[in-house]
Copies of this chain bind each other. A is one copy, B any other.
Amino acid sequence: MTEPDVASSDATNIGLQIRRDGDEYVLNGKKWFSSGALSQRCKVLVVMGKTNPDASAHLQQSMIVVPKDAPGVRIGRVPHVFGYVDPGGHPEIIYEDVRVPVDHLLGEEGGGFAISQARLGPGRIHHCMRAIGVAERALEYMVRRALERTTFGSSVAHKGLIQDWIAESRIEIDMHREYVLRTAHLMDTVGNKAAATEISGIKVAVPNMALKVIDRAIQVHGAAGVTQFVPLAEMYAHMRTLRIADGPDEVHKMTIARREIRKYAPDFRMQGPASPSGEPQVFMRP
Contacts and interface: CB of A to CB of B under 8 A. Distances in A.
Given A7-B156, A84-B83, A237-B83, A161 B250 contact: yes
Interface string A151-171: 111101111111110111011
Given A158-B270, A226-B81, A250 B219 contact: yes
The 9 closest A-B pairs by CB, nearest first: A83-B83, A160-B160, A153-B275, A167-B253, A83-B84, A163-B257, A79-B227, A178-B178, A167-B256
Contacts of A157: 261, 265, 268
A164 to B, nearest CB: 5
Contact of A149 (B6, B219, B277): B6
A136 to B, nearest CB: 11
A263 B237 CA distance: 28
Contacts of A226: 79-82, 237, 240-241, 244
18 contacts: A6-B150, A79-B224, A80-B226, A81-B233, A153-B272, A161-B161, A162-B250, A166-B261, A167-B252, A170-B197, A170-B201, A171-B201, A171-B256, A175-B179, A178-B179, A178-B182, A222-B244, A223-B241
B175 A201 contact: yes
Contacts of A75: none
Interface string A21-36: 0000000000011000
